[in-house]
Amino acid sequence: MSMSSHITELQKKHSELSDKVESFERHPSTDGLDIALMKKQKLKLKEEITRLSS
């Protein structure tokens, strides 16, 4: 897998996770811990994308 395709895949996962977080935040019955964990995963993906893009 080339570096650019790997970055593209990470960006896709980040976007999907972002959409999922937004969806969960709209429903009050969602556990705040689940949202926090997804946000943490999102941050790790963003950091990896930034690191690889540099």
The alpha carbon of residue 34 and the mean position of all alpha carbons in its chain are separated, in whole angstroms, by 13
C-alpha to C-alpha distance for 29 and 45, rounded to whole angstroms:
26
C-alpha to C-alpha distance for 42 and 6, rounded to whole angstroms:
16
- What would the pLDDT profile of 3-50 be if each residue is shown by its tens digit? 899 999 999 999 999 999 999 989 878 888 999 999 999 999 999 999
pTM to 2 decimal places: 0.85
* pLDDT at 1 exceeding the cut of 80: no
CB–CB of 25/35 below 8 Å? yes
User: Which carries the bigger pLDDT value, residue 28 or residue 2?
Assistant: 2
Hey, what are 36's tokens?
């926090």
The pLDDT score that the predictor gives to residue 27 is 85
